[in-house]
Structure 1
Amino acid sequence: MAILRVPEEFCTIQEAVNTANPGDVILVEEGIYPEQVLITKNNIRLVARCRNAVLDGNSLLDFGFLLNNVSGVQVRDFMIKNYDMAGVYLNGGQANRVIHNNIINNDLAGIILNKSCRNMISENNVSQNDLGILATEAHHNWFVRNCACQNSQSGIFLGSGATGSNDNALINNHASYNESIGILAMGGNNLLLQNQVTRNQVGILIEDNNNILQGNIVKRNECGAVVAVSSENLYLANNVIRQNCGTGIELVNNQFGIIEENKIIRNKDFAIKGSVASASNTIIRNQLRLNSPGNIDLINPDNNVINSCLF
């Protein structure tokens, strides 16, 4: 393993990447780097020293880091701003790590994953972009402890493409003050666990089958808190959904779901609302309190409400 230093040994990050071999570390010192870095080699690490290395696209370049069909690459501790497409773009590839970066003011998204799988996206501040994190046909990824806030559309958007984005885990993320949806998940078998989703237009919108939403805090969103569309076998449990300006949980064409042990309190529409095509759902042991105009509005009678506290 070699350590390649920028700018001490190489004038640009791209020059260091071109020289690097698998296993090498590129250590980037404090400074502003107006470049677009293309990475086509596996198993290299790019680390900003003291988080003071800034990639600045000056609204002229498309991407800060473009990881093109690679695996085992790590991008860590950079500030990445002012790119026309994305701060970090993972195109194909797998098992890469984007960790502890500050990614702001990019036109399309802070981070994009396109058909890229089994990556770790963790502890990034992804704010003031169009979209915070965008995943298209991206599967088996981990999104952990990111802050996706103050974006002009959605904070985290999983989906798009022919198959959506499936089998992903979103854990302990903050999605707040986004102008559209906090977390939008289009795809199956996704896990949303212990996220905080506050003060967006809509809190969480989920579409497709076999998704789990557990232990999330969804509050003070301008419209609906949790909206599930065309989902079968949805498991929604132990969430705190409170003080939203719309419905707590809205089911649109959902079947065979379980809504269990949620606290749905002080929302300005029904706690749980279901469309005429939402049937065969089990609603059990929820605390539904002080929602206006009421707690449950299920049009289809073929749903089971069991042991819920309604007051």
Structure 2
Amino acid sequence: MAIINVNPATPGGINGVVNAPTTQPGDVILVENGVYRESVTVPSTKSNIRIVAADENAVLEGDNGFPNAFTLNNVTGVEINGFTIREYTNIGIQVNGNGFNRLVGNKLRQIGGDGIQLNSNGNLVYTNDVSRLNGDGVEVNGNSNWIVKNEISGNKGNGINNLAGNNNTITQNFLVGNNRNGMLINGSNSLIVKNHLHQNMLNGVFVAGVSSVNTVIVDNSISENRGDGVLIESDNAFVGNNSILKNRQSGVELSSDFSIIEGNEIENNKDFGIKINSGADKNLILRNQLCDNQPSNIKNNGANNNFVNNSECKDQSNDESSDESSD
């Protein structure tokens, strides 16, 4: 294993060093400060290399002429760490095939499409700053990925778009002021925990379609989104112990069956605290605290839904009482 230093005057730039025959698994390519106008492709023969910026002043700049800053093709164990990435026409960092790669501490700005796109399984996206892009902050088209502690704000798409992946974990991210949903989920068995979703133009969390079953949404702070705090279209969701405040539509809107809404603080939302749509049946609404939602705390248009031990502001009337009841 070797540490290979790269600077802006290195022949072939970062891409040349990555693809050199002498670069071997375990090598660290240490990129010194400066501006690198290039696109870096890591081929399938270069698994387990680490491409590390000296600090955020190591800048990959596309000049709106290169499509991607980094493209990882069928590799395993590659780390991209600490770069500033800007002005690419397509995607900041794209991972295609294989998996178990690490994208850590990068800053992405002014990208024509998505900031980070995972077409791969088992990757870690950690502590990246992804803002002011024309697409989604992070798009996931793979399984068993970890999206952790990223700041994703002001993008024209969704903050995080789980477009076609299962068993993904999304935790401790800040998703603020994105032009679509804070988080869009199209995949089963997702875990969404301890995120902050605020002031997004559509919903805080949107679990879309019938295939996104068994989504678990717990311990999140979801507020001041222009749509719903949480919108559920898939069955068997669990929404628990979230703070869901001041959203312009419903706190929680259900169009699904067999879901559980438990132990949430749901206050000051503008289109009911919990709204259950026609056709949404056999859900359990348990031990939630509901207060000052308009026009009332609960609206139940479904059938055979159970409401148990929810606490409500005493001056508000609802379609269902806070005591144990079923339709």
TM score, norm. by length of structure 2? 0.91
Comparing both structures, which one devotes a greater share of its residues to strand? Answer: 1
Q: Is the 8 A contact 1:210 1:234 kept in 2?
A: yes
- Which of 203, 208, 232 aligns to 2:235? It is 232
Task: Give 1:268 deviation, angstroms.
Answer: 1.0
- Matched residue SS, 1:50: coil
- Matched residue SS, 2:99: coil
C-alpha deviations, 1:253-296, integer Å up to 9, x for none? x1111110000001111001111111110010000000010011
Task: Give 1:50 deviation, angstroms.
Answer: 2.0
- Which of 124, 128, 133 aligns to 2:132? It is 128
Distance 1:58 1:9 in 2: 18
Distance 1:71 1:51 in 2: 24
Quote the residue 1:110 is aligned against: 115
Q: Is the 8 A contact 1:118 1:139 kept in 2?
A: yes
- Which of 252, 255, 258 aligns to 1:256? It is 258
Quote the residue 1:143 is aligned against: 147
- Matched residue SS, 1:89: strand
Distance 1:37 1:200 in 2: 32
Quote the residue 2:207 is aligned against: 206
- Which of 64, 69, 81 aligns to 1:64? It is 69
Distance 1:284 1:80 in 2: 46
Q: Is the 8 A contact 2:52 2:82 kept in 1?
A: yes
Cα–Cα, structure 1 residues 290 and 109, in superposed 2: closer, same or farther, change >3 Å?
A: same
Q: Is the 8 A contact 1:5 1:16 kept in 2?
A: no
- Matched residue SS, 1:13: helix
Distance 2:24 2:273 in 1: 56
Task: Give 1:9 deviation, angstroms.
Answer: 8.3
Task: Give 1:211 deviation, angstroms.
Answer: 0.7
Distance 1:126 1:72 in 2: 22
Question: CA RMSD of the aligned region, Å?
Answer: 1.0
- Matched residue SS, 1:210: coil
Distance 2:190 2:123 in 1: 15
Q: Is the 8 A contact 2:250 2:272 kept in 1?
A: yes
C-alpha deviations, 1:56-112, integer Å up to 9, x for none? 011101100000010000000000111111110001120000000001110111001
- Matched residue SS, 1:47: strand
Aligned residue identity for 1:173: N
Distance 1:265 1:250 in 2: 14
- Matched residue SS, 1:192: strand
Is 1:195 equivalent to 2:195 in the alignment? yes
Quote the residue 2:89 is aligned against: 84
- Matched residue SS, 2:30: strand
Which stretches in structure 1 are left out of the alignment for 5+ residues? none
Distance 1:228 1:3 in 2: 49
* Largest Rg, 1 or 2: 2
Q: Report % sequence identity.
A: 37
Quote the residue 2:123 is aligned against: 119
- Matched residue SS, 2:19: helix
TM score, norm. by length of structure 1? 0.96
Q: Is the 8 A contact 1:170 1:191 kept in 2?
A: yes
Quote the residue 1:15 is aligned against: 16
Cα–Cα, structure 1 residues 218 and 211, in superposed 2: closer, same or farther, change >3 Å?
A: same
Quote the residue 1:54 is aligned against: 59
Quote the residue 2:279 is aligned against: 277
- Matched residue SS, 1:181: coil
Distance 1:198 1:148 in 2: 11
- Matched residue SS, 1:51: coil
Distance 1:193 1:52 in 2: 32
Task: Give 1:22 deviation, angstroms.
Answer: 0.6
Distance 2:88 2:132 in 1: 12
Quote the residue 1:223 is aligned against: 227
- How many equivalent pairs are there? 303
Which stretches in structure 2 are left out of the alignment for 5+ residues? 314-327
Distance 1:181 1:233 in 2: 21
Quote the residue 2:103 is aligned against: 98
C-alpha deviations, 1:2-34, integer Å up to 9, x for none? 111112883300111012111100000000000
Quote the residue 1:155 is aligned against: 159
Distance 2:110 2:159 in 1: 13
Q: Is the 8 A contact 1:199 1:221 kept in 2?
A: yes
Quote the residue 1:171 is aligned against: 171
